[in-house]
Structure 1
Amino acid sequence: MANLSIDPATLTVMENALRQIVDEMDVALERAAFNPVMSQARDRANGIYHKATGEVVAQGDTGLPIFVGVMQYAVQSALEAFPDLEEGDVVILNDPYCGGTHLMDVKLVRPFFYKGQRFAFLANCGHWTDIGGNVPGGFGVRATEIIQEGVRIPPILLARKGVMREEILTLLFANMRVPEERRGDLQAQIAALNVGAARLTNLLDKYGDSNVERYIDELRERSERQMRSYIKAMPDGTYVAEAFLDSDGIDPAPIRVALSMTVRDDTLAFDFTGSSAPVKGPLNGTLSVTFAAVFVALKHIFPEVPINAGIFRPVTIKVPEDTFLNAKYPRAVSGSSAEVSLRVVDAVFGCLGQAVPERVPASSFGSVANFTISGYDPEQRKPYIMFRFSGGGYGGHAGGDGLTNANSPIGASRTTPIEILEQQYPIMFDYYRIREGSAGPGERRGGFGSEWQIRLVRGDAVSSVLGDRGRFPPAGLHGGGEALPTVVEYHRAGTPYRPEHLTKDEGIVLHPGDTARVAMPGGGGLGDPRRRDPRKVLTDVLHGLITAEDASAQYGVVLTSGHGGWLIDDVATREARAAALP
């Protein structure tokens, strides 16, 4: 029964106020961060967490979704290590095995006190472009243990009663490249926590701490009830799906995500038994990432449910320790956050697509192709590390075609402007454009991927890339076609080079004039392409997104050259479509 003392209008105000606080924290972190991945691409997140359990209370609209779920485990790890945190204390950690993702994602956890009593935790996470290790940027494709990937930080006190422990920073930054940039990113994260503390204090001053706490409890209960109502509408039963990663960068064998999803009344149970064993390379997934990816997928399908601890309660997740999705020390995990998590999302979508087919789209591009180039810039006289990820196409869905050049399903990020990258690093973009022909055909076609090529302008450099979807492109659904796969290609002294593992390599030496190209997949198509409106096919041809040959081969739409451009040949189109029918 609903709490009769809860005023619906105030509840709405409280929900939006909590979200606004975290949004301001996100903006503060974005504006103050030094590296473009945080300041421009929004590879960061902030959140408010429960004072006793560490469960998520609120997240912002632009925080990276995979981080918010993961940070719940990070807060709980900090609370377990330091149960008596005092006002002004700050815990730092990046340990993948206790609430982390990969080492580059650094988290800060701070208790928030109001009138001398702990009311909540504030926490954030930001991607640092280097954390030490064998490979600049942290994406070491041939790493076989986490020690090779960088500095591992278990939960430790970074600040005590408001006083920063400089000896900790000295130790950490002595093991990282470009330490002045890392210090700037850290200060930005601390500033965001300060903003959150100030805004939360204002909210409690206005409404009272006990009243705000009461409304937080009600928001949690309502999210749980809403999630249960959606689950209850699904047909009871067990649904099975699988998804594959290309390889781990060392062994060429594909890596399998096996999932069974059981719907029983108003509960969901996910079981990853049968997934591949832990792998040699860095494509192991941490337990917190696997859990968070499940809830990111659920949020995609049920976007109306606010993210807080309530959505976790109707769901159980089993991840056996003998699978690559529950990495234990010392397994390498740099691909955990951005690549492994995306295959988990695919598997969850595969199960949900059987239970609620009207809500689930065809496969998305499903990789961010973590790309790094680093070296010494002789003009600016300083070392640099540039990291960027790429957008791609979303799958066709019941409401229309998939998005083009969208962010990954685990993110709310955006592409770093090329002007910023060209200003800060000794590179130049030859092009950055929509990848024509990359979308999977369908009655609702997939969105198109992006493709770009950069050229090293000065100085020598070394590059690494850790991506996926080179062997297993995004699949279509309900008769739709698959999209094009990821392509990574370098040209060194005019000679082309493609990685043996297609989307994974490290230590690629570049000289001025050499180039690197990344072409991202589109999304899979939904429904029989022969049912697509021919006028939409013609529009794609006129926009240069597909060729007239594609229109005929994929959609059965025959075009003839007329005055001023292409025209649909109605007779030939009908015949082509009739011939394609079984």
Structure 2
Amino acid sequence: MQKTDPITLEIIQNSLQATADEMFAVMKKTAMSSIIYEVLDMGTGITDAKGQLASSGAGIPAFIGVLDKAVKVLVKKFDKPGDIEPGDVFLTNDPYYGGVTHLNDIIVAMPVFAGGRIIAWTANIAHNSDVGGMAPGSLTGEATEIFQEGLRLPAIKVISRGDTIRSVMDIIKVNSRMPDVLEGDVWAAIASVRIGARRLVDIANKYGVETFEHAMSSFMDFGEQVSLTELAKLPKGTFELSEEQDDGRIFNVKITIFDTEFTVDLRDNPDQSTGPVNTSRDGVMVAAQMIFKSLTDPYSPANEGSFRPIRLLTREGSVFQAREPAPIGFYYEIELRVYDIMWRCLAQHMPERLASGNFASVCGTFIGGIHPDTGRQYTIIEPQLGGWGASERGDGNSAIFSGFHGETYNCPAEINEARNGLMVDRMELNMEPGGEGKFTGGRGIVMDYRIRGDNGFLTAGYTRSKFPAWALDGGREGSPNYVRVIRKDGSSERFSFVSGLTTHTDDVIRVVTGNGGGIGDPKERDRAAVEEDIKNGLITRERAREIYGVA
């Protein structure tokens, strides 16, 4: 067949997606941390030889968008003959050296050779439970420089021509409080890129290297054309938004939409923080890519071409383009803030495409200590479910992860209780007021973790705690995200950000995530829908009478 045969090109493209899915399955089946094998806090993908995203892969949207940026750093760094050879595997976790996110997230990448040259890269990323640093779990709001957040892997080689570089693996293990778990998760990631590389070699051999490479490039061009076609349908002009954050900072965004370009200007924003609430420019680009994809072509796979119309403007030394060695541990909350202000900026102009505000926080909850049964260190890293905003078509979804986190899963109570030193007493929908409207915002959750041992710790970082999810067209705001620590004696404290808080036996850590924002005047809500809400216990009749005017 000719390399331009569209059927062959489509088969190759689908094979790339199938390969990324298989890589994802390998990690899920072989990882040691529940954050990976249960929550699926990971992503897999395939790039071309230059590091351009060829297949959007599988996993967390914000993770998949990281992989091509990491591979591009590797390609640039290892640019001499012999630097990259068959069987090599590379690692990076440092946001200043291709890691994009934070030190807990290790990216593993492998070059794929066929026809005597590199034809692609397979890559993955996953959150690791502990990579050292000043605090268990490697995340703390008290960090003032990245050196305190864990071991830095600045785009290095861990396997050379198929042989493990033992000293590198030893350094990784000795810096972790959970060395066997970390080693197991890294090897799961290595197994994943290896199986992916094997599959791509088979595909290239079957159809020919030139046809394989042409398939990738042609689908990037196709992705660009699809984006440009949909971009032309969006309202044109410049749209701006300023929004106060929970910590008092003002974040600003200016989006200009042309027929062929989508410009996001974030230069007018605060300087980088002395604490770990910063992000990298690449991380902000991921946020811009997610909102752009949502607006243009949300249902098809993404590749490098899909995002060519994006032009991102940031300022070095700002919170959205931190300068080394700024700490960056809670980067995900800052990227979510960027994602959310872009969403809010455009939602009032495109309500048919964008819903009202959601709980918009990972609500990352880190609980750890010494397991009372095994005597070993344990650390839970748990993103939380929350409420999504209402749209013009209906009520928002309840108990769904944030857009940053995508289609992942909460860790089952049985796994948490078996692996970690706590009990899960309850998880139920959040019945706090908030999110009422013609269509209502989805419900967040209330989840209780009861601690089984003394001298444990809690670290958490929630945003949208002071300012709940925003509403549209006369709807009501949602409710806040927060965590409450209820001591055995009945006293309690409420937090949005807390680091290393000491916990004891029978303390309860109560996670409360927000309801999404409503849309439309609550008085216009369908009476049958109100009665159904009352029947399902989502609202009392007294409150329904107050909000919706139900008799």
Corresponding letter in the other structure for 2:305:
G
Q: How far does residue 366 in structure 1 lie from its aligned partner after superposition? A: 0.6
Q: How far does residue 101 in structure 1 lie from its aligned partner after superposition? A: 0.4
CA distance 1:266–1:196, shift in 2 (3 Å): same
| Residue in structure 1 matched with residue 381 of structure 2 by the alignment | 387
Structure 1 residue 274 corresponds to structure 2 residue 268: yes
Matches of 2:543 and 2:31, distance apart in 1: 45
Matches of 1:494 and 1:132, distance apart in 2: 34
Q: How far does residue 6 in structure 1 lie from its aligned partner after superposition? A: 4.1
SS of residue matched to 1:433: strand
Matches of 1:496 and 1:7, distance apart in 2: 70
Answer whether contact 1:456 1:513 (CA < 8 A) is retained. yes
Matches of 1:394 and 1:218, distance apart in 2: 36
Q: How far does residue 423 in structure 1 lie from its aligned partner after superposition? A: 0.6
- Structure 2 unaligned runs (5+)? none
Q: How far does residue 7 in structure 1 lie from its aligned partner after superposition? A: 4.1
| Residue in structure 2 matched with residue 82 of structure 1 by the alignment | 78
Match of 1:38 among 12, 33, 36: 36
Q: After superposition, where does 1:426-441 map in structure 2 within 5 Å? A: 426-437=421-432, 439-441=434-436
Matches of 2:76 and 2:56, distance apart in 1: 22
Q: How far does residue 31 in structure 1 lie from its aligned partner after superposition? A: 1.0
| Residue in structure 2 matched with residue 140 of structure 1 by the alignment | 140
SS of residue matched to 1:356: coil
Answer whether contact 2:159 2:165 (CA < 8 A) is retained. yes
Q: How far does residue 194 in structure 1 lie from its aligned partner after superposition? A: 1.4
Q: After superposition, where does 1:103-252 map in structure 2 within 5 Å? A: 103-247=103-247
Q: How far does residue 399 in structure 1 lie from its aligned partner after superposition? A: 2.5
- Structure 1 unaligned runs (5+)? 248-253, 559-582
SS of residue matched to 2:491: strand
Matches of 2:84 and 2:523, distance apart in 1: 62
| Residue in structure 2 matched with residue 580 of structure 1 by the alignment | none
Q: After superposition, where does 1:253-402 map in structure 2 within 5 Å? A: 254-302=248-296, 303-337=298-332, 339-402=333-396
Answer whether contact 1:299 1:305 (CA < 8 A) is retained. no
Q: Which digits, 9 at most, give the CA deviation of each residue in 1:256-276, with x for residues without a partner?
A: 321101112221111002222
Matches of 1:398 and 1:98, distance apart in 2: 43
| Residue in structure 2 matched with residue 18 of structure 1 by the alignment | 16
SS of residue matched to 2:96: helix
Q: How far does residue 304 in structure 1 lie from its aligned partner after superposition? A: 3.3
Structure 1 residue 425 corresponds to structure 2 residue 423: no
Answer whether contact 2:317 2:323 (CA < 8 A) is retained. no
Answer whether contact 2:220 2:303 (CA < 8 A) is retained. yes
Q: How far does residue 461 in structure 1 lie from its aligned partner after superposition? A: 1.0
Matches of 2:249 and 2:203, distance apart in 1: 48
Q: Which digits, 9 at most, give the CA deviation of each residue in 1:118-176, with x for residues without a partner?
A: 11011110100111111211220121111111112111111111111111111122111
Q: How far does residue 232 in structure 1 lie from its aligned partner after superposition? A: 1.2
Answer whether contact 1:245 1:340 (CA < 8 A) is retained. no
| Residue in structure 2 matched with residue 56 of structure 1 by the alignment | 53
Corresponding letter in the other structure for 2:127:
H
| Residue in structure 1 matched with residue 68 of structure 2 by the alignment | 72
Matches of 1:182 and 1:431, distance apart in 2: 30
Q: Which digits, 9 at most, give the CA deviation of each residue in 1:354-380, with x for residues without a partner?
A: 443310111111112111111112311
Answer whether contact 2:270 2:319 (CA < 8 A) is retained. yes
SS of residue matched to 2:228: helix
Q: How far does residue 196 in structure 1 lie from its aligned partner after superposition? A: 0.5
Q: How far does residue 24 in structure 1 lie from its aligned partner after superposition? A: 0.8
Match of 1:551 among 522, 525, 544: 544
Answer whether contact 1:244 1:343 (CA < 8 A) is retained. no
Q: How far does residue 438 in structure 1 lie from its aligned partner after superposition? A: 5.3
Answer whether contact 2:88 2:157 (CA < 8 A) is retained. yes
Matches of 2:363 and 2:437, distance apart in 1: 25
CA distance 1:491–1:479, shift in 2 (3 Å): same
Q: How far does residue 243 in structure 1 lie from its aligned partner after superposition? A: 3.9
Corresponding letter in the other structure for 1:521:
G
SS of residue matched to 2:157: strand
Answer whether contact 2:289 2:310 (CA < 8 A) is retained. no
Q: Which digits, 9 at most, give the CA deviation of each residue in 1:384-408, with x for residues without a partner?
A: 1111110101111123211111111
| Residue in structure 2 matched with residue 529 of structure 1 by the alignment | 522
Deviating more after overlay: 300-309 vs 102-111: 300-309
Match of 1:516 among 503, 509, 512: 509
SS of residue matched to 2:67: helix
Match of 2:397 among 392, 398, 403: 403
Corresponding letter in the other structure for 1:325:
F
Q: Which digits, 9 at most, give the CA deviation of each residue in 1:24-62, with x for residues without a partner?
A: 11111111110000111010011101202x1111022x4
Q: TM-score, normalised by structure 2?
A: 0.95
Q: Which digits, 9 at most, give the CA deviation of each residue in 1:471-492, with x for residues without a partner?
A: 0111111221111101211022
CA distance 1:378–1:356, shift in 2 (3 Å): closer
Matches of 2:446 and 2:192, distance apart in 1: 34
Q: How many residues align?
A: 544
Q: What CA RMSD, in Å, does the superposition of the two structures yield over aligned residues?
A: 1.7
Q: How far does residue 244 in structure 1 lie from its aligned partner after superposition? A: 4.2
Q: How far does residue 439 in structure 1 lie from its aligned partner after superposition? A: 5.0
Corresponding letter in the other structure for 2:446:
E
Structure 1 residue 477 corresponds to structure 2 residue 476: no
| Residue in structure 1 matched with residue 92 of structure 2 by the alignment | 93
SS of residue matched to 1:239: strand
Answer whether contact 1:130 1:177 (CA < 8 A) is retained. yes
